[in-house]
Amino acid sequence: MIEGTQGYGSNAPALAKQYESITFDDVHHEVMHLFPSPPARILDVGAGSGRDAAALALLGHGVVAVEPTDALRQEGLRLHGEKPIEWIDDHLPDLRQLHRRKDRFDLILLTAVWMHLDIQERRTAMRSLAGLLNETGRISMSLRHGPVPQGRRMFDVSADETIELAGLHGLNAVHVAERNDMLGRSDIRWTFVVLETRP
C-alpha cells in the first residue's frame, strides 16, 4: 500500500459521495481565473472521485486523472466513465508512468493531496511535478491545516515551505489564499497556492 492512501480504499463509496457533494466551482472559485482556457492539457493528481477531472473535461480540456487507490479510481470510472478522461494508476512522489510517457501539462491540479506526503516525499514530488509542466504551465494545490482523522497519514504543510520548495525547481507563487473548510468543519482550514514556471 502507498502510505498516503491509508484509509481511502476501504471507504471509497462514502468518500466519493462526500467529494461529489461539493462542486468544482465551489472548491476552485478563487483560483479558476488562473487556469488555462480550453483546450488545454490538464493533469489531476489524486483525482479521487473524478469531480474536478470531469468538470475540466466538460469545459473542453484534455484531462489525465491520476488516482493510486483502486477503489476510488473505480468510483471515478463509475461516476464519470462517459466523460473523455484518461485514468492512470500512478502516484506521487515520482509519477513514474507519466514521466515515462514524457507528458507535459498546462495545469497540474493537486486538491487535498499534498498533505499526505512527508518532507522527503514533498521534495521529490515537487521536482517531479515541475518536470511535467510545459514552459508556461501552472500548479494549483490546496494545503490542509487541522487535526488528522484516525487511520490517515497527513502532515500540516505551510505555504511558506511549499513556495520555498517550488522556488528550488524554477517555480514562482502567483497566488496564495486561505479559506475555511468547504465541508463546514470548524477545525480545518485550507491554503490555496498557485505556482507557475519562472520566466
d(C-alpha 108, C-alpha 137), whole Å: 8
The total number of structural domains that make up the chain = 1
Q: What is the pLDDT of residues 72-86, one digit of tens each?
A: 999 999 999 999 999
CATH, residue 87: 3.40.50.150
d(C-alpha 80, C-alpha 24), whole Å: 14
Identify the residue whose cell numbers are 474536478. Answer: 52
Nearest 10 degrees: Cα torsion 30, 112, 55, 167: 60
Residue % of the chain over a pLDDT of 90: 83
pLDDT at 14: 82
pLDDT at 26: 95
Length in residues, the chain: 199
pLDDT at 89 over 60: yes
Q: Which domain holds residue 36?
A: 3-197
